[in-house]
């Protein structure tokens, strides 16, 4: 787990001259690799920068890494962020088939050797989380890839001086500033953010900087552009299951593949812990991990406000599976003080309040361990979100004639905001492609028009979801929703906050559910084994019966919920008002309309909490990255007390 930067220039002289700028730009992401910060290398038209957070073969697997076959020992240079969990098996195969030689016990050499002997398709053989760059000094071409689900980030920018890649956008901003390139705000991406609560891939809020998408590999030649190819297509192909014997075989397959994934995710030369909430996902991971590390430590966070904490349930689970448990309680004052720094770490705004307690628990966990496991991805793969049951509740409306359904939609617009049933009526009048675009729906168009001065009715969520709905048009509604979430909500919100908040604290987070082998099993689960009228993730729950404590098995999880609805009426009201007033976003936002929203929320007229939070996060982001008026104090990387 590390931070990388790669620059493909137009000439060797330019690459060599850029090394100092690369080293300076890497300091922005020193938290991603405090063990070996600031490593740099240049060769041919390429300059690499690297910060290492060492996990495997700590003494030898340094980067940038040079490797090659015996006839060309330094042909390739690699920078690599992530972990390859099947590297031992793949390494043994390469040795047996091709006589591959390795100088370290790390996983980085396995990536380069696989590319050399198997070609670009080798990326599909990697089980892990990764973003890497390989420079072939013989062919003078750069090859790179990002993991199937988008666990690890990779930003890039094309320009007259070449193509730059980085694990964090901050490094690209600094590097391109040194090269005299001016960045501009992407207003389309801003509108998407205010609807979705995240900036969808491949966009960022800077027009010139994009992201390599999940499951994608690419080539770049000096003087050329990035040529991408999707290598991972996460399609669902449910099989039928009839009878108890077949059901039990399915549950056994799920348990077996998860056990194998957790075992491989435990591979490290440092201590591995686990996050633990009150739900089945993280509890299952922790329980399986306990089998491989009897001294496992688990971590959870919560708030003192009733209904917004799973601390007690998580503690009960920790006792039941026999692990030591650490709790971190977060106050509203701590949240307000930390938010500007957290937004700096994010690179682009994510208006998910849960990322704040995640930052605090990651900071606490780093005092005890260097790696944690977590349960991200289970909901998207196994059908865990309550919203996935909506097609069942709306099934009766499917029989209503189209004209009448349109009339229902018009009626819903006349119902006062906050009235029970208003949103149900509106959603029932819409086809799936119009009503579902992820778990968060912050601003509707009519609401956004009142606050966004640059609102463009040609921009909408269909820009983001249409390609994924198009390839799934023959699937059932629930599966289509899961498929859309894999390319939107999962990689735009869930994995961004997981990566950014843990790496901000120099802590590596691993997600065993998001493994290609786990997906193979999950993609074949019948719809009625995923979603029922009574529950979600039915097959996963059945598979975990002998692993997860009974009190968690069928409990609806809270995750890390944050009581901002209450706090924005009281403890956070003056703080929020101050951010709005001081923000220099008048060209973009109607601040008077936003202040009225805040007052309406305080007075209890309507719950605007999520919309206000999205605006506050953007205003802080704008203050940091555009205005330069918000300057959070960036701490040195946080080191553990004991490993």
H/E segment holding residue 220: strand 216-220
Q: Are 195 and 443 in contact (CB under 8 A)?
A: yes
- Please name the fold of domain 243-384+489-553: Rossmann fold (3.40.50)
pLDDT at position 232 over 90: yes
Rounded CA gap, 604 and 569, in Å? 8
DSSP for 10-54 reads: SSHHHHHHTHHHHHHHHGGGGGG-BSEEEEEEEETTEEEEEEE--
Would you kindly state where each structural domain of the chain is located, as residue ranges?
A: 2-230, 243-384+489-553, 387-443+460-486
- Reported pTM: 0.95
Query: What percentage of the chain carries pLDDT values higher than 90?
Result: 80
Q: Are 166 and 5 in contact (CB under 8 A)?
A: yes
Which residues lie across from 145 on neighbouring strands? 132, 217
What would the mean pLDDT of 199-210 be, rounded to a whole number?
Answer: 97
- Please name the fold of domain 2-230: 3.60.20
What would the mean pLDDT of 628-643 be, rounded to a whole number?
Answer: 79
Rounded CA gap, 269 and 159, in Å? 40
pLDDT computed for residue 392 by the predictor: 84
Question: In the block, which residue shows the tokens 């500007």?
Answer: 340
Rounded CA gap, 120 and 217, in Å? 8
Whole-angstrom CA distances from 167 to 199, 263, 533 are: 16, 27, 42
Rounded CA gap, 366 and 370, in Å? 6
H/E segment holding residue 133: strand 128-136
Whole-angstrom CA distances from 236 to 426, 466, 475 are: 29, 18, 9
Residue 446, marked binder: no
Rounded CA gap, 638 and 358, in Å? 15
Whole-number mean pLDDT of the chain?
Answer: 93
What would the mean pLDDT of 11-24 be, rounded to a whole number?
Answer: 94
Q: Which two tokens stand for residue 341?
A: 């720094």
pLDDT digits (tens, 9 = 90+) for 68-120: 999 999 999 999 999 999 999 999 999 999 999 999 999 999 999 999 999 99
pLDDT at position 642 over 50: no
What would the mean pLDDT of 363-392 be, rounded to a whole number?
Answer: 95
pLDDT computed for residue 558 by the predictor: 59
SS3 398: helix
pLDDT computed for residue 559 by the predictor: 56
pLDDT at position 560 over 70: no
DSSP for 328-345 reads: EE--HHHHHHHHHHHHHH
What would the mean pLDDT of 531-538 be, rounded to a whole number?
Answer: 92
pLDDT computed for residue 639 by the predictor: 67
491 or 421: whose pLDDT is higher? 491
Q: Which two tokens stand for residue 616?
A: 């506050």
H/E segment holding residue 79: strand 76-84
Rounded CA gap, 337 and 363, in Å? 15
pLDDT band at 419 (very low <50, low <70, confident <90, very high): confident
pLDDT at position 398 over 80: no
pLDDT computed for residue 79 by the predictor: 97
**Within 10 A of 252 (CB to CB), how many other CB atoms are there?**
11
Rounded CA gap, 261 and 512, in Å? 6
394 or 547: whose pLDDT is higher? 547
Kindly report each contact of residues 33-40 with a partner whose C-beta sits within 8 Å and lies 24 or more positions away, as own/partner.
33/1, 33/2, 33/3, 33/506, 34/506, 34/636, 34/637, 34/639, 36/62, 36/63, 39/63, 39/64, 40/64
What would the mean pLDDT of 6-18 be, rounded to a whole number?
Answer: 95
Residue burial 605-633, b: 16+ Cβ < 10 Å; e: rest: eeebbbbbbbbbbbbbbbbbbbeeebebe
pLDDT at position 245 over 50: yes
pLDDT digits (tens, 9 = 90+) for 303-357: 877 766 678 888 899 999 999 999 999 999 999 999 999 999 999 999 999 999 9
Residue 374, marked binder: yes
Can you say whether the dihedral through the CA atoms of 474, 476, 479, 481 is positive or negative? positive
Main-chain phi, psi angles of 239, to 5 degrees? -105, 155
pLDDT computed for residue 399 by the predictor: 67
CA-closest candidate to residue 616, choices 441, 497, 451, 445 = 451
Main-chain phi, psi angles of 450, to 5 degrees? -80, -15
Residues marked active site are found at: 2
Torsion angle (degrees, nearest 10) of CA 209, 212, 217, 218: -10
Q: Which residues contact 248 (CB under 8 A, 6 or more apart)?
A: none
Residue 107, marked binder: yes
| CA 290 remoteness from chain centre | 25
Gyration radius of the chain's alpha carbons: 24
The β-bridge relationship of strands 155-159 and 162-166 is antiparallel
pLDDT computed for residue 305 by the predictor: 73
pLDDT at position 643 over 50: no
pLDDT at position 180 over 80: no
pLDDT computed for residue 197 by the predictor: 96
What would the mean pLDDT of 514-534 be, rounded to a whole number?
Answer: 95
pLDDT computed for residue 1 by the predictor: 64
Q: Are 327 and 302 in contact (CB under 8 A)?
A: yes
Whole-angstrom CA distances from 493 to 29, 168, 359, 439, 641 are: 20, 16, 14, 10, 30
**Within 10 A of 73 (CB to CB), how many other CB atoms are there?**
12
């Amino acid at each position: 787990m590390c931070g990388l930067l790669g620059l493909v220039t137009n000439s060797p002289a330019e690459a060599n001259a850029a090394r100092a700028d690369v080293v300076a730009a890497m300091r922005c992401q020193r938290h991603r690799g405090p063990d070996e910060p600031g490593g740099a290398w240049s060769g041919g038209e390429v300059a690499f920068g690297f910060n290492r957070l060492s996990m495997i073969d700590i003494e030898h697997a340094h980067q940038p890494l040079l490797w090659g076959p015996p006839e060309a020992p330094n042909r390739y240079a690699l920078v690599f962020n992530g972990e390859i969990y099947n590297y031992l098996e793949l390494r043994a195969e390469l040795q047996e088939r091709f006589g591959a030689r390795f100088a370290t016990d790390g996983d980085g050499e396995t990536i380069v050797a696989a590319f050399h002997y198997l070609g670009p398709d080798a990326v599909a053989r990697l089980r892990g989380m990764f973003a890497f760059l390989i420079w072939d000094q013989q062919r003078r071409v750069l090859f790179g890839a990002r993991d199937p689900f988008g666990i690890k980030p990779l930003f890039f920018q094309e320009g007259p001086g070449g193509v730059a890649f980085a694990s964090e956008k901050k490094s690209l901003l600094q590097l391109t500033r040194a090269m005299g390139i001016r960045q501009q705000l992407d207003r389309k991406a801003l509108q998407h953010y205010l609807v979705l609560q995240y900036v969808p891939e491949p966009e960022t809020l800077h027009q010139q900087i994009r992201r390599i998408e999940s499951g994608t590999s690419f080539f770049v030649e000096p003087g050329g552009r990035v040529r991408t190819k999707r290598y991972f297509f996460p399609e669902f192909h449910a099989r039928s299951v009839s009878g108890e014997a077949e059901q039990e075989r399915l549950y056994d397959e799920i348990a077996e593949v998860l056990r194998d994934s957790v075992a491989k995710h435990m591979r490290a030369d440092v201590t591995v812990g686990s996050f633990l909430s009150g739900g089945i996902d993280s509890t299952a991971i922790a329980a399986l991990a306990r089998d491989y590390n009897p001294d496992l430590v688990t971590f959870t966070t919560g708030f003192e406000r009733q209904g917004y904490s799973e601390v007690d349930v998580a503690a009960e689970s920790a006792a039941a599976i026999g692990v030591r448990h650490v709790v971190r309680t977060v106050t509203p004052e701590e949240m307000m003080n930390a938010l500007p720094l957290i937004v700096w770490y994010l690179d682009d705004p994510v208006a998910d309040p849960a990322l704040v307690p995640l930052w605090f628990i990651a900071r606490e966990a780093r005092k005890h361990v260097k790696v944690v496991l977590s349960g991200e991805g289970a909901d998207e793969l196994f059908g865990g979100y309550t919203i996935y049951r909506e097609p069942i509740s709306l099934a009766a409306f499917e029989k209503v004639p189209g004209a009448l359904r349109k009339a229902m939609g018009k009626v819903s617009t006349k119902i006062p905001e906050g009235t029970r049933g208003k949103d149900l009526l509106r959603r029932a009048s819409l086809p799936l492609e119009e009503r579902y675009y992820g778990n968060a729906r912050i601003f509707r168009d009519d609401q956004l028009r009142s606050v966004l001065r640059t609102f463009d009715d040609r921009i909408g969520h269909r820009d983001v979801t249409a390609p994924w709905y198009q390839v799934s048009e023959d699937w059932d509604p629930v599966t289509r929703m899961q498929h859309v979430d894999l390319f939107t909500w999962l990689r735009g919100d869930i994995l961004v906050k997981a990566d950014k908040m843990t790496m901000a604290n120099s802590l590596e987070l691993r997600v065993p559910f998001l493994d290609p082998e786990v997906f193979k099993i999950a993609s074949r689960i019948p719809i009625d084994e995923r979603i029922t009228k009574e529950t979600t993730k039915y097959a996963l729950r059945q598979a975990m019966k002998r692993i997860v404590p009974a009190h968690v098995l069928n409990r609806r999880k809270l995750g890390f919920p944050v009581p901002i609805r209450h706090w924005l009426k009281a403890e956070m009201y003056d703080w929020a008002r101050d951010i709005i007033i001081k923000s220099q976003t008048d060209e973009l936002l109607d601040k008077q309309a936003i202040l009225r929203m805040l007052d309406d929320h305080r007075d209890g007229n309507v719950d605007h909490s999520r919309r206000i939070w999205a605006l506050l996060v953007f205003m802080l982001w704008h203050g940091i990255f555009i205005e330069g008026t918000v300057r959070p104090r960036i701490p040195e990387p946080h080191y553990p007390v004991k490993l």
